[in-house]
Amino acid sequence: MTNPTQAAAAASKPLLFDSHAHLVADDQQRYPRNPMQRAANAPYRAPGVIGKPGGHHGPNPINEVPDAARVLRWMQEQNVDGIVAVQKRMIYRYDNSYILDSSDQYPDLFSAVVILDAQDPATPDQVRGMIRDHGLAGVRLFGGREPDGSMPWLNSPQALKTWDVAQEAGLVMDLEVLATGGGGPSIPTIIALARQYPDIRLVLDHLLEPEMEEGADFGLDARYERLAAEKNIFFKFTSINLDICREAGIPADKVLRRAVDLYGADRVMWGSDIGTSSGTYADMVQRLLVAAQSLTPQEQAAVFHDTGKRVFVKGGSRKPAIGAKP
C-alpha cells in the first residue's frame, strides 16, 4: 500500500493513462510460460532497445516481473489511473488468460487487448466470447512474417472476419507492424482497413515504428502523413520509441512534437511498454515527461491520459450489439 507521503507525491504528478503495458504473472503454475524466440527475420533493433544488454544505458535494469499486483503499486506511485494490458506474446503466445483474469479482478483499472492468430477460423468466435465474458477492450491479430518482410494476413479473408466482429462491437483493433524498414510499407493496407471499417478505432503501436533519423520529419515522412486524414486511426508513443531515440541519438521531444503536429494530441497516447522496453516503470514515466516538455499543457493532458482513456473502452463502444456484460 502507498503511505500518505507517497500518495501526496503521486498526486503532485500529472495524471496518466498507460495504453500499453505487458503483464507477466509471478505464479507460473497457474499461468505457465511458453516463451518464443525473436524471429530470425525480425527487423533490426539497436542493442539498447527492448531491454537487451548493451546500448548507452548498460544492462537491462528491469529486475521485477510486471505482475499485476506489482504494477498496481507502480500505478499508485506514478499517478496512473488505468492501463491497457496488452498480451505478452513472446511469453504466453496466444494464451491470454492472465491479462483477462487481471482485467476481471481489477475492472476499473485494467483493460485487456488480446493477441490472437489472424488465420485461425476460431478467432472471431473467441473474440465474441471474450467481449461477452471479460469486457474485452481490443484485439491485436498476428500472423507471422513472410521472407520478404510482408504480412499478407493483415487483410486476409480470414482476418477480416475478426475485423467484422470488432466493427460490430466497436472494439479497438491494435496493430503492431514489425517489418524491415519500419511500418511504412503497410500504410496503404492500414488506410484501406480504416476506410473499410469506419467504426473501428485502429491504434498503431509505437507510432508504427518509423525508421527514425535526423531531419525535418524524423522518419514520419510522406507515407506517414497520409495517415493524418484517417480520423479513426490513433497512435501510441511508447518506451520503444524513446529507446530508439536514445540509441540513435535523436531528440525524443522533437519526435513527439512531430507526431502531435501531424496527427493531433487527441490521436496520440502514451504507453509504457513495461515488460518489454528498458527501464523501470518510474524511469519510463520520467522519460515521457522529459520528452513532452515541448507540448502545451492541453496537449500533455491528451497524450498523458485523455486520448488513451477515451479510445480504449471495455466491452467495446457498442456493447449492446454484442451482448457484453453490463
* 284 close to 78: Cβ distance less than 8 angstroms: no
The pLDDT tens digits of the residues spanning 99-136 come to 999 999 999 999 999 999 999 999 999 999 999 999 99
- Which CATH entry fits the domain spanning 4-36+50-317: 3.90.1150.10, 3.20.20.140, 1.10.357.10, 3.20.20.70? 3.20.20.140
Strand bridging mode 80-86 / 16-21: parallel
Domain ranges (residues) in the chain: 4-36+50-317
Q: What is the pLDDT of residue 118?
A: 96
Q: What is the pLDDT of residue 9?
A: 76
Q: What is the pLDDT of residue 151?
A: 79
pTM of the model: 0.91
Q: What is the pLDDT of residue 247?
A: 84
Q: What are the cell numbers at 108?
A: 476499473
Name the residue type at position 17: F
Three-class SS of residue 130? helix
Phi, psi dihedrals of residue 109, rounded to the nearest 5°: -120, -35
Q: What is the pLDDT of residue 148?
A: 61
Q: What is the pLDDT of residue 45?
A: 59
Residues of the chain scoring pLDDT < 70: 1-2, 6, 37-63, 146-150, 178-182, 319-326
- Residue spans of beta strands (DSSP E) within 11-106: 16-21, 80-86
Closest Cα partner for 303 from 220, 227, 238, 228?
A: 238
